[in-house]
Amino acid sequence: MIAAAVAGLPVYVRPQTDPLRHADAILILGGEYNERYPFGFALASEGWASTLVVSNPKGKADRWLTNRCANPPTGIAMHCFVPDPSTTKGEGRELRRMASQNGWRTIIVVTFRPHISRARFILDQCFDGDLVMVASPAQLSVPKWAFQYAYQTAGYVRAVSQPGC
């Protein structure tokens, strides 16, 4: 158990994040820990990219996000989508489609810290441009960290066993 916790430190607790730089778009990945959405909106408002792509896995059931998607910030082109499948791989497929359609080469990807490494692994299989991976703020209790270790590890096993986009 201790060995697994230590092995997971560089992957889940201290993953490689990237310094912010201007990009063609900001992609906010969906999921729990909704701090990622306001954080991604703030990055767009600060001018890091003029296009905001928002994954909304719950669709209309997420009223707050549906309302935000219907009322984009002034001066920001916004595209909201329900990933198919409702996974990081589904988000990667939409990124690939939109990047190809729009000629994007650099994307800022917003997710929360335990998901950074796995998201990078999956999105790298879908997008051949530059990914700027940033972690939104999130406070996790010890039980939630334990859950994330297990959840993200299972996700890695699935991603490795089903490679490609």
Domains and CATH numbers, the chain: 2-161 (3.40.50)
Contacts of 137 (CB under 8 A, 6+ apart): 35, 39
Tokens for 30, please give them: 């969906």
Which pLDDT score, from 0 to 100, does residue 100 have? Answer: 97
Q: What is the bridge-based pairing of β-strands 51-55 and 77-81?
A: parallel
Which pLDDT score, from 0 to 100, does residue 80 have? Answer: 96
Q: How many Å apart are CA 30 and CA 18, to the nearest integer? A: 19
The answer to whether 20 touches 109, Cβ cutoff 8 Å, is no
Q: Can you tell me the mean pLDDT for 44-52?
A: 95
User: Among 127, 104, 85, which Cα is nearest to 26's?
Assistant: 104
Sign of the alpha-carbon torsion through 9, 12, 14, 15:
positive
Span of 7-21, 35-49, 101-115, 132-146 with lowest mean pLDDT: 7-21
pLDDT digits (tens, 9 = 90+) for 78-131: 999 999 999 999 999 999 999 999 999 999 999 999 999 999 999 999 999 999
Q: How many Å apart are CA 103 and CA 134, to the nearest integer? A: 22
Span of 19-33, 87-101, 147-161 with lowest mean pLDDT: 147-161
106 burial via Cβ count (<10 Å: 0-12, 13-18, 19+) = middle
Span of 9-18, 20-29, 40-49 with lowest mean pLDDT: 9-18
Q: Can you tell me the mean pLDDT for 5-14?
A: 61
pLDDT(50) > 80: yes
pLDDT(135) > 90: yes
